[in-house]
Chain A
Amino acid sequence: MWRAVGVFRLVTLAYAAVLILRDHQRYAHPLGGLMTLAVMAAWSALVTVAYARRSTRRPWIVGADVAVATALILATRLVDTAARIDHGAATLPVCWAAASVLACAVAGGPWAGVAGAAVVSAADLLERQALPRNTFNGIVLLFIAGTVGGHVVRLVLRAEAALDRAARREAATAERRRIARDIHDSVLQVLALVSVRGRELGGEAAELGRLAGEQETALRSLIALPPSPAPDGRLDVRTLLEPLAGDRITVSCPAHEVLLPDPAARALAAATGEALDNVRRHAGPDARAWVLLDDEGEVVAVSVRDDGVGFEAGRLVRAAEAGRLGVAQSIVGRIRELGGEASLTSAPGRGTEVELRVPRTASPREEVDHRGR
């Protein structure tokens, strides 16, 4: 951005130089005109160098920049003839003065830009002692340059910061992935082998195998990447469901990412986790469970099935009627708040199946508002 200000300054300096060299014979003080040009050139060189480096980029230099521009505008009265000025001749620096307004904007944002524009415009008015149309236009343009310039700088800075953060995160993620791969290829494989082999051998070896299996699961979840939202704030549901897998729980997902708005993804995963808690609590000690994440396009569906003891169809309804909402409220409630549907089917001895369906564009708060809660 500073470079852009520098370029603008050079171009406007050249324009002012052309005008001064062409007209200085007609000034009241031709030499004054040339001196003004020399001051402009020297100041341009000085500040361009000062602005180029962060260490020399001081607020007072920006202030001085505005002051010099203002002084040169006011100097027009001294150098040029009153007749020419009243006839609408340009001020000596012409649009070179706008460079200082841009410098304000770049240094301090839109408000500083407006302040710079106000000072330079005031000098313009003072020099003219009137408000002809072209001066008015010039003033409007100065204010626009001040505000827009400041805004653009803010945006650029914000974008740069975001890019920087993203690059850092990317590097950290890549490193973590590399470590995960290494662990995956070495320690995890051995732990898996010990676990499988130990269980086969039985006895004390089975106990060792069980320990190895637990460590394998623990290490696996340790090296798994934490769920992080995409730049648009959506979250891959898979990253939330995969950690739910365990010895008796299988999680099946597509190979591609399944994105939902962050809160919806978390609510869906939380409902899934609760369904699995219910399996642990009610399905019996030997029950296994399967979680399927199915991306149907318009709808993202998660089903949780177990092969446990199951229950009579009416029991849950009765529990809900009796006010002991428990399962029904937290699972079904969460999903309904997302504008989705949840259903539960079961029969004694045939396990239980929970199906959660959430629209792709789900957002939690709207649905709550619609129902006027």
Chain B
Amino acid sequence: MDADGSPRLLVVDDHPIWRDGIAERLAAGFSVVGTAGDGAQALRLARATRPQLVLLDLHLPDLAGAEVTRRLLADDPSLHVLVLSASGERQDVLDAVTAGATGYLTKSASLDEVVAAVRSAAAGEAVFTPGLAGLVLGEYRRLVGTPEPETPRLTKRETEVLRLVAKGLTYREIAERLVLSHRTVQNHVQNTLTKLQLHNKAQLVRYALEQGLD
């Protein structure tokens, strides 16, 4: 954090109007330490300015969003990446999230929503929109059908919680409906994401070993 206690933020977007617009609007509550227009610049700036949170558009001219996420986190594992993208490309979003991003918002989200999401992402909480819950749920469903060994599975409870998030219920409403504490609901959601990210990492390691590049 900066001297005044506001989280340090890096905004990455190849669209100049968007990039400057969002940086300007977030400057009120956060310390925007830099803006970048492509992946390489984002990685350089992240090393130089040590932000706590990177607000990342998935559509960049040089690198895929998931790759930028992976490299940012490899440089600084304590960093959080929040995807803010206009992209309807669900696979890109899913890739970025399994690569370690803590959440996803669309660009049509209001400023209040973005601010709230940036706050919770900077605190390390998963930002789970219904859209993202649908993607994560779908990915677990897909993994059930693949022959890969040791794929992560959802518990019954986690499936239930994830479906409710995807149906637009808030954590509070879910807690009420399932007679759980707010914290427990949050943990379930976080777990679903962590398991996918670990699986993704393990797969990368296995791939690297198989290719003999350890």
**A192/B91 in contact, CB under 8 A:** no
Interface string of A249-269 (1 = CB under 8 A from B): 011111110000000000000
Q: A193-B21, A200-B25, A216-B108 are in contact. List 12 more A-B contacts (CB 8 A).
A: A184-B87, A184-B88, A192-B107, A200-B110, A220-B88, A253-B138, A254-B135, A255-B93, A256-B91, A289-B168, A292-B130, A297-B145
Give 6 CB contacts A-B under 8 Å.
A189-B18, A189-B107, A192-B86, A250-B168, A252-B130, A253-B134
Which chain B residues numbered 12 to 50 have a C-beta less than 8 Å away from chain A? 14-15, 17-18, 21, 25
- Which 9 interchain pairs have the tightest Cβ spacing? A254-B138, A252-B134, A290-B168, A255-B90, A255-B94, A292-B166, A305-B167, A255-B91, A252-B166
A190 to B108, CA, bound (A): 11
Assess A292 versus B167: contact at CB under 8 Å? Given A189-B107, A200-B110.
yes
Contact of B134 among A189, A193, A254 (CB under 8 A): A254
The number of chain A residues with a CB under 8 A from chain B is 37
Contact across chains for B130 and A290 when beta carbons are under 8 A apart = yes
Q: Is the CB of A294 within 8 A of B90?
A: no
Using a CB–CB distance below 8 Å, which chain B residues touch chain A? 14-15, 17-18, 21, 25, 59, 86-88, 90-91, 93-94, 107-111, 129-131, 133-135, 137-139, 141-142, 144-145, 163, 166-169
Flag whether A185 is at the interface (Cβ < 8 A).
yes
**Interchain CA distance A185-B144 in the complex, whole Å:** 35
A169 to B80, CA, bound (A): 42
Q: At the interface, is chain B mostly helix, strand, loop or mixed?
A: helix
Contact between A250 and B18 (Cβ–Cβ < 8 Å)?
no
Task: List the interface of chain A (C-beta within 8 A of B).
Answer: 184-186, 188-190, 192-193, 195-197, 199-200, 213, 216, 220, 242, 250-256, 288-290, 292-297, 303, 305, 307, 353
Asked if B108 and A195 sit within 8 Å, CB to CB, the answer is yes
Distance in Å: Cβ of A279 to nearest Cβ of chain B = 12
Residues of chain B with a CB closer than 8 A to A294's CB: 134, 137-138, 141, 163, 166
